[in-house]
Amino acid sequence: MAVKKAAAKKTAKKTLQKKWVYLFEEGNKDMRDLLGGKGAGLAEMTNAKLPVPPGFTITTEACNTYVALGKKFPKGMWEQTLKSMKEVEKQTGKKFGDPKNPLLVSVRSGAKFSMPGMMDTVLNLGLNAETMVGIEKLTNNPRFAQDAYRRFIQMFGRIVMGIEAKKWDAIFDGVKEKYHAKQDTDLGVDGLKEVVAQYKELYKKELGEEFPEDPYKQLELAIQAVFGSWMGKRAVDYRRINKIPDNLGTAVNVCTMVFGNQGDDSGTGVAFTRDPGTGENELFGEYLVNAQGEDVVAGIRTPMKIAELKDKNSKVYNEFRKLARQMEKHYREMQDLEFTVERGKLWMLQTRTGKRTARAAVNVAVQMVNEKLITKEEAVQRVDPQQVVQLLMPQFDYKAKEEATKVGKQLAKGLNASPGAATGLAIFDPDTAEKLGKEGKSVILVRYETSPEDVHGMYASKGILTQHGGATSHAAVVARGAGLPCVAGCEGIRVDEGAKMFSADGKTIKEGDSISIDGGTGEVFAGEIKTVLPDFEQDENLKTLLGWADEIRLKKSRKGMENAPELGLQVWANADYPRDARMARKFGAQGIGLCRTEHMFFETERLPIVQKMILAKNDAERQKYLDELLPIQRGDFIGIFEAMEDLPTVIRLIDPPLHEFLPSYEELLVKSTELRVRIEYMHKDGVDNSTEKAQLKETEEMLKAVAGMKEANPMLGLRGCRLGITMPQITIMQTRAIIEAACTLKKRGVNVHPEIMIPLVGHVNELKNQRDLLEAEAKKVIEEQAVDLEYKFGTMIEIPRGALTANEIAEYAQFFSFGTNDLTQTTFGYSRDDAEGKFLLKYVEEKILPENPFQSLDQTGVGRLMEIAVKEGRAVKPNLKVGICGEHGGDPSSIEFCHRTGLNYVSCSPFRVPVARLAAAQAALTPISKDK
């Protein structure tokens, strides 16, 4: 009995053992968290009966446990790996390490989210001196066996053991030169044997030990290398840039090797089910004859287009095309596929969601709705709001580009790997590119070919140019994901990275010279070319997608929210001039959330009047200049109202300190000193200096006035409503100008909706003072004009005390608008200009702050104040309209917070209105969790 219990206990313990390893047939597409994207894709293709080489996946949990245990395999993982290898041996009829019929495998990384080229891969694992002979006999192809062996030694030595790539390349290039081999494939058996021998010598010299012959030791070290690459610098940098969490880990995929380098009836390819640059519904990709997978993505040889495979091997092409369509229909998404042809037989090695340009993302989303593959809601969720920004990226001015071509500035033409136009300094190494990029300089990174180690320099650049590589090379994939223009495989240039220069068509471009690249056409030019914005009006697919977004945020807005506004989260714009308002409307803005009146004061012809008004010695003199400004301001507002017609327009009364309209104290001091010296010299020379004396008198009066206005901290000084209280004539004039302009339009039959915003209110009595004063003026104007006009008075919540006393302030406000730029400054106690210039970047890099709070809303601090203000304001006035008009109004994550908090609108720059429309729809589609 005791024996039975012990056996049962042992069985239960065995049953409960953690599963670290899954055969491909044990997984599916929904196991991305555990198996990573590649592993889940291989499992799904296996279960769909596609031709997938047998293999297994070691889970992301194993990776995280390995890291947590100080780089030790979790208990039971290695044993499960060995057991799975036995199963693969059964399925293939081969044995791992068997000299006669050897099983060779690839060991590849595969995280939940695609990170192309950022982690490690080892091919041909299991080769040693004995199994190499076995492969040679089985294939009757000595060159293939030697080539596979030299590839494995190099990859293992470089990736697993960390020997520099250039040392391997030097050996290979030296042997190629000895045998006069132009291409890798020109090197024969004898040459490859020399390469293998020299590779083994290098390995021993660098590491002090022989190259490992035991296939299981090779496998153990390769798995450790892939796990370790998750925390490698390039992978960490990529995750930081793309906001991928560190705790996801990577899976390890161990897959039976199939060989594309067995002759002209073999090859390897990478293809997308649709064009990742344009979204066109045609197979897009590349194929290399007699090559292994890394040859395509590394850009070592320039491949043929996938369509050319149809002529070379129509049977394989048609089979692949059928499987590609099957996978796209199965996943209901554009796929990125890797495949190998081994002696005429097609093998599928990967399927994953294809990375694409912004243009392709929009086009594919709209096409798939029209093809009834996905819904409108899915289409809206598939386009990243930042991709909309990329669609509005500059392109080269047609005439400027034509002229550059005509005068011979075109240097070469390569593959149009990622669209967009860029001009910058030619820089030949990623570190310098990163350094100059941080200094705000425009850089084009020029490389012979890029590698994953270049990623930090690529992201700091405005564009990328490579001599080698194709449209699916590392450079192209990273560029498309980052929205960077890229010209790849530009064989017309000769890059010398050591000398930091490239030559093309008899011309030499040195580091620091300006070049221009067109990622849409593949053209490369010397010098700078003027750029222009694309035409939003002609972009039918983008307008269609944004139209769906507008429908969705209205339809879905109230789900899961008690205080959601009836019309959903609207998108308004910040516009200071009629041209801004017209652009905002073109981009789909539903109102103006911020019109800054002080910007109008800086216009050249009116600034002298503003300065005289500020320097006035008494109220009567000040009123004289305000009377001059009144018709000018009225004209400004008429222009804004005309552009917006019947849409609401929020106009903020003067906000900045008055000294901002005057010359700086330091400039005036220098000018005063220079005038005194000039007057003295002119006097000595007997030259009339009356003009200079008059200028000195005027300058010194201005200097005295500026000195009198000088404040220790002007951003917290006499500005906003405080200025209106101490100098009421200014805001009275502005209110009159606004209401007179509105009445003028109303008389023309335009149903305008002016909303006057009083800024920087921290105490209810400030708002009460200003509203009582200004509403009296508004009523007076309406009576004079004899029109019926609706208007509102509200306030900007940008002081913490204003948010905390929102219940009091709501008594006198008809709307709230969060000025989150100042609210962030006053909540954190930061001066934005000083913080961003001196320490904020370091705070973000060292994770003291998760993000720059001036770019993405601090939801736990500033956001908490906003939540309090909304809740307490609406407790007093349930229908209180609340919006946001800081720069955060165009940030997708901040927009999602505004939706969740129940705001009526977000207001952003006109250019970001399309971004906000999409982000607001995505926020409406996001379920509201109870803990938020």
Q: Which of 329, 286, 343, 340 is nearest to 309 (CA)?
A: 286
Nearest-angstrom CA–CA distance, 95 and 101: 6
Q: Is 420 exposed, middle or buried (0-12, 13-18, 19+ CB in 10 A)?
A: buried
Nearest-angstrom CA–CA distance, 602 and 625: 15
DSSP 8-state secondary structure symbol assigned to residue 102: B
Residues whose CB falls within 8 Å of the CB of residue 268, separated by 6 or more in sequence, listed in order: 260, 261, 287, 288, 291, 292, 293, 295, 296, 338, 339, 340, 341
Q: Residue 160 has which token pair? A: 């697993």
* CB-CB contact of 253 with 27 (8 Å): no
- Sign of the Cα pseudo-torsion (562, 567, 568, 571, in order): negative
Q: Is 801 exposed, middle or buried (0-12, 13-18, 19+ CB in 10 A)?
A: middle
By DSSP bridging, strand 523-526 and strand 410-413 are antiparallel
Burial 382-398 (b: 16+ CB within 10 A, else e): bbbbebbbbbbbbbbee
Tell me, rounded to whole angstroms, the distance of Cα 282 from its chain centroid.
Answer: 26
Tell me, rounded to whole angstroms, the distance of Cα 758 from its chain centroid.
Answer: 36
- Catalytic annotation, residues: 474, 885
Helices (H), 461-587: 474-482, 540-555, 578-586
Q: Is 800 exposed, middle or buried (0-12, 13-18, 19+ CB in 10 A)?
A: middle
Nearest-angstrom CA–CA distance, 71 and 57: 19
Burial 489-523 (b: 16+ CB within 10 A, else e): bbebbebeeeebbbbbeeeebeeebbbbbbbbebb
Q: Is 549 exposed, middle or buried (0-12, 13-18, 19+ CB in 10 A)?
A: buried
Q: Residue 302 has which token pair? A: 């320039």
Nearest-angstrom CA–CA distance, 359 and 33: 29
Q: Which of 733, 763, 521, 489 is nearest to 616 (CA)?
A: 733
* CB-CB contact of 125 with 156 (8 Å): yes
Residues whose CB falls within 8 Å of the CB of residue 11, separated by 6 or more in sequence, listed in order: none
782, containing H or E segment: helix 764-785
* Type of residue found at 423: T
CA distances in angstroms from 409 to 9, 413, 493, 901, listed in the order given: 79, 12, 14, 54
User: What is the Cβ-side half-sphere exposure of residue 31, based on CA atoms within 13 angstroms?
Assistant: 23
